[in-house]
Structure 1
Amino acid sequence: MTCIIAHTDGVTSFIAGDKLGSNGFTKSVQTEPKVFEKEFIKINDDAGLTRTKEIMAIGYTTSFRMGQLLTYSLNLPQQDANETFPQYLVLKVIPIIRQMFKEEWGSRDPSQEVGGGQFIILHNHTIYEVQEDFSVLQPKTRITAVGSGTYHAIAAMQAYIEVENESKVPLHERIKSIFKIVSDNVTSVSAEFDVLKY
């Protein structure tokens, strides 16, 4: 199910997700968005006196249960002054998510202790992709996608980027067209979508 896409040019960015739920045979457009924001505190100095409220955006696929846990149950820890954001994700956030999934979601595969899923994190105009084994990747390209619509979405975004200089239409204005292309070709993706822009 699902198509989650993200784009950044280092100055502006967006993350968007379709609204379809499907079991492979039937489908239904859902009201609950697959993209949302989570707040956390970043400590800006070693003394801990200066703190800022930060936001990360998350877009999920794989399971609505997984998404609901990320949306409603995940309490993000603070990021220390000496931690980069990737370190913060890998060393602090992912272990909490993994434990939460283990306790509340279980495993979909008997060979696994805990089941994971794919989701995208967008923070400070940087994209991170979390894999089913909980590894955190940072794509070198300025686009990424996860879910059943991945290949069509990547192709559509790349094509629009190729003609961006000529058309003068930025990618964030093509989101509706991207989901139309994907939904026309992938039965488990809807043309309707939610988007967060930064």
Structure 2
Amino acid sequence: MASRDPTAPATAGTAKEVPLQAVQAHRRAGGARAAGDRGRPLSDQCGEANPPYPDGGPPIPKASMTAIVGITDGRTVVIAGDSAGVGGGVTQPRLDAKVFINGPYVIGYTSSFRMGQILRYAFKAPVPPEDDEGLHAFMCTGFINSVREGLKDGGWASKNNEQEEGGSFLVGVRGRLFEIGEDYQVGELADGYSAVGCGAEIALGALHATGDTGMSLEARATAALEAAAHFSTGVRPPFTIVGTTKSATDGHPGSEDIPPS
């Protein structure tokens, strides 16, 4: 069998060899971000990819981590998250929780620890309207506009092809659960639960499986995170669980921390 000339261009259906020097250069130039630069804090990127090799080889995946789950019964919203910080070949639990309370909102984030720090400490949470019918419109406008300004002021928001991008997180307020996308869209899931992060699909399966069991919201959220931690290398305990309940008397929510699992 005739051997193929290694200098000949690759054709369809033929594996293309990537020179070792190109791989090393790619990692030095930017591929190291796939594992978290040693000069940077542990990242929280989930599932995106770095640019391809200089000669068109495959991209190197970024580090993946985090499972954030949210669930509501129409009055109480529970959001729970793991503690994993992933960088390089190292996974370490973080003390700075990915789930917290800011004003009337309970928030659980993925995408970036820095984004979460801005949302927790710098973001000035706007007061939501008292009427339920206008809440989604408010979340899409007043709330998101405040988030955008906060992330820009904190130096974290970015633009891609002139489109402004933020990050992904869950928000609970007034008994309702919202999922915020990287393009700032505001989703409200018909199932009454959602999940984000690299462990999201596993967590969603667990939330679906526990739907008719009579388990409490906290127990279902914990079970979802335990499933994600069992199967995903980017999810680690301990878990932080925070709930917010819509008051039956005045409509204003009250939030509380639930002891970590």
Q: Percent identity?
A: 29
**TM-score, length-scaled by structure 1:** 0.81
Q: Distance in 2 between matches of 1:147 and 1:130?
A: 12
**TM-score, length-scaled by structure 2:** 0.63
Q: 2:221 corresponds to which letter in structure 1?
A: I
Residue 191 (structure 2) aligns with? 141
Shift of 1:56: 1.2
Asked if 1:14 corresponds to 2:84, the answer is: no
Residue 56 (structure 1) aligns with? 105
Shift of 1:109: 6.2
Q: Which runs of 5+ in 2 are unaligned?
A: 1-64, 246-261
- Rate the CA distance shift 1:186–1:153 in 2: closer, same or farther, 3 A: same
Shift of 1:10: 1.4
Q: Distance in 2 between matches of 1:187 and 1:103?
A: 33
Pairs aligned (count) = 179
Q: Distance in 1 between matches of 2:73 and 2:127?
A: 27
More strand by share: 1
Q: Which runs of 5+ in 1 are unaligned?
A: 40-54
- What does the per-residue CA deviation read over 1:77-124, in whole Å, with 9 as the maximum and x for residues that have no partner? 344567822222222121121122233234566535543110001012
- Rate the CA distance shift 1:80–1:194 in 2: closer, same or farther, 3 A: closer
Q: Partner of 2:71: helix, strand, or coil? A: strand
- Rate the CA distance shift 1:26–1:85 in 2: closer, same or farther, 3 A: same
Q: Partner of 1:120: helix, strand, or coil? A: strand
Q: Distance in 2 between matches of 1:150 and 1:71?
A: 22
Whether the 8 Å CA contact 1:16–1:194 is kept in 2: the answer is yes
Shift of 1:146: 0.6
Show the 5 A alignment for 1:82-101. Answer: 84-101=134-151
Whether the 8 Å CA contact 2:80–2:222 is kept in 1: the answer is no
Q: Partner of 1:161: helix, strand, or coil? A: coil
- What does the per-residue CA deviation read over 1:168-197, in whole Å, with 9 as the maximum and x for residues that have no partner? 433422433322211111111113210012
Highest RCO, 1 vs 2 (Cα 8 Å, sep ≥ 6): 1
Q: Partner of 2:85: helix, strand, or coil? A: strand
- What does the per-residue CA deviation read over 1:123-160, in whole Å, with 9 as the maximum and x for residues that have no partner? 12211000000010111111100111100000011111
Residue 210 (structure 2) aligns with? 160
CA RMSD in angstroms comes to 2.1
- What does the per-residue CA deviation read over 1:37-89, in whole Å, with 9 as the maximum and x for residues that have no partner? 121xxxxxxxxxxxxxxx11111101000000000010123445678222222
Whether the 8 Å CA contact 1:56–1:121 is kept in 2: the answer is yes
